[in-house]
Amino acid sequence: MYKLARTGAVLATGLLTALALTGCGSDGDKDDAGKDSGSTTSPASGGASSDGGSAGDAKDLEGAWAGKSDDKPVVLSVSGGKAVVVADSHVCSGTVSGTGKPELELKCVDGDTTRITGAVESNDGRTVVVAWGSGTKDTLAKTDSDALENLPELPDMSGLPELPTP
């Protein structure tokens, strides 16, 4: 029972973090404008092919992405060169950079190493494929930030014992 509540709390925290990051995109766009004035936008159709077509650049990864890997939810949020991944009750954050094949460098709060280094294999603006250094591969769909607004309320967790801090 407590594990389910803690898992829900971790996922909710990650989703709120992801939502907060995607809501801050306008400031990041200003900072990136001077650095990457020659960039192109992600193609709406025909951009990535099934043979590992264009992965775009870090700016094309901006926004919220969600899907399932091994029947477990995975959420990736990118804004202003910062990235957050919530997967299998792990919350990881860090940076995304690069052109042609953007790379993610993350650090997980709990020390998990499944999704700490990743490379975007393809991104057609609707679906992104991220291959992680651990061998895990996530296929995620672009999500509308409004989709996160109607999440159910979390149960009262005030009676849970405090978790020890490392």
Give the integer Cα–Cα distance in Å for 50 and 66: 20
Element (H, E) at 140: strand 137-143
Residue 155 binned pLDDT confidence (cut-offs 50, 70, 90): low
Give the integer Cα–Cα distance in Å for 26 and 8: 30
pTM: 0.61
- pLDDT at residue 164 greater than cutoff 90: no
Question: Which residue did the predictor score with more confidence, 60 or 150?
Answer: 60
Buried b (16+ CB within 10 A) or exposed e, 18-51: bbebbeeeeebeeebeeeeeeeeebeeeebbeee
Phi then psi dihedrals of residue 91, to 5 deg: -115, 120
Lowest mean pLDDT among 20-34, 47-61, 73-87, 138-152: 20-34
For residue 124, count other CB atoms closer than 10 A to its CB.
Answer: 21
Compute the CA torsion angle 69, 74, 77, 78 (nearest 10 deg).
Answer: -30
Spatial contact of 5 and 160, defined as CB atoms under 8 Å apart: yes
